[in-house]
């Protein structure tokens, strides 16, 4: 439900920007805009090709994703406007 419950894009850019920098890249807002909404495979292929580093292994990618979840929680993101009301209505309707 990423992007529905919480707009995570600004957090993704900040967190993964640092990850890409640690691998030797220097990602820009344009880079992130180019791949917005893509899957993880496309994300890693894009940055590894653009900044000439090897594709990270699955353990690295899994660790990065896990650390992103922790980072996101620590930032206390706000719910998308109206989502709490929608969830309550769904619960009331036993959906």
Question: What's the mean pLDDT in 17-23?
Answer: 94
What distance in Å separates the CA atoms of residue 66 and residue 69, rounded to the nearest whole number? 5
At 14, the pLDDT band (50, 70, 90 cuts) reads: very high
pLDDT at site 92: 96
What distance in Å separates the CA atoms of residue 6 and residue 2, rounded to the nearest whole number? 6
pLDDT at site 2: 64
**At 6, is the secondary structure helix, strand, or coil?**
strand
Question: What's the mean pLDDT in 21-29?
Answer: 93
């Amino acid at each position: 439900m990423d992007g529905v419950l919480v707009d995570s894009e600004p957090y993704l850019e900040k967190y993964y920007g640092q990850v890409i920098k640690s691998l030797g890249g220097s990602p820009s807002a344009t880079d992130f805009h180019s791949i917005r909404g893509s899957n993880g495979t496309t994300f890693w292929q894009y940055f590894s090709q653009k900044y000439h580093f090897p594709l990270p292994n699955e353990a690295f990618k899994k660790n990065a994703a896990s650390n992103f979840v922790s980072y996101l929680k620590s930032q206390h993101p706000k719910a998308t406007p109206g989502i709490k009301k929608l969830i309550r209505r769904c619960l009331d309707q036993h959906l």
